[in-house]
Structure 1
């Protein structure tokens, strides 16, 4: 008995379908690779991290009911302190940070009072404060608004 195999039972992918899928995968992976920064070491990523750490300092000052400072210790390091020592967050992690890949920070400390308001000396901050990060032949600016302490990043 001969077995007859019809063309309809041997269906598979056509060459055009395979090429289309590979093309879509190639375009998608190249777009992802262009946005991927290994270890988040790029200048914009470090500016975003500084902004998050400023917000974190403000939130911790508010939740703990004490004044906390984002203390710039050198052009490449900063920490969250209580005025004397680097503090730990609620998970126990020491709050000190290092900028990588030649990125430097030019600004002074910023203190938040127990209500999360940014201070300038002993009084409330009255003008917008900017923090400049430089490196990779470009600059990023982190802005802190007076009164509210709202933090934004400008490329």
Structure 2
């Protein structure tokens, strides 16, 4: 004997099933859009790392009572001391930090050095009388700036 379907039941989805699927799709869409809009996260993160490296150079200069700094070639940078030359940053795998490896395109080339009091120095080795501005450009073309305040060496 064959069982027959009840004629009162219709094929299709219930309202609860439709609403559940729409909610799940909405959540997935929000996550996808949030991830695609957060393109500055790498730039902000790498800018903070470079600031930290500058502060580290300044603290080493004050602790060791000699000139320490960060030298940028434009596509990479490294820590150096007047006495020892190139020095590896703590936690890094090599002496040179390659910006392309960090998702960055370039940064302002030059030497950003500090004396034994933490004062930033200009290219001639004299205390800076203006703020040093470092521009970091990400691979996506966006940029950020770092300022080293004259006389104090403060890196906000």
Q: Where on the TM-score scale, by shorter chain, does this alignment land: which range?
A: 0.5 to 0.7
Q: Aligned partners of 1:140, 1:111: CA distance in 2, in Å?
A: 20
Q: Give yes or no for contact 2:61–2:117 (8 Å, CA) kept in 1.
A: yes
The answer to whether structure 1 residue 78 and structure 2 residue 77 are counterparts is yes
CA distance in 1, matches of 2:136, 2:40: 17
> Where in structure 2 are the equivalents of 1:24-63 lying within 5 Å?
24-35=27-38, 40=42, 45-63=45-63
Choose from 122, 125, 136 the match for 1:122: 125
Rate the CA distance shift 1:80–1:62 in 2: closer, same or farther, 3 A.
same
Any residues of structure 2 matched to 1:5-154 within 5 Å, and which? Answer: 14-15=16-17, 16-35=19-38, 40=42, 45-72=45-72, 74-83=73-82, 84-89=84-89, 94-100=94-100, 103-120=105-122, 121-134=124-137, 136-152=140-156
- RMSD across aligned positions (CA): 3.2
Question: Rg larger in 1 or in 2?
Answer: 2
- Which residue pairs with 2:6 in the alignment? none
Look up the match of 1:3: none
Following TM superposition, where does structure 1 have runs of at least 4 consecutive aligned residues deviating by more than 6 angstroms?
none
Structure 1, unpaired ranges of 5+ = 1-12
Verify the 8 A CA contact 1:107 1:132 in the aligned structure 2. no
Secondary structure of the residue aligned to 2:86 is: coil
5+ residue gaps, structure 2, are 1-14
Structure 1 residues 95 and 53: alpha-carbon distance in aligned structure 2, compared to 1, 3 A threshold: farther
Structure 2: how far apart are the matches of 1:29 and 1:92?
32
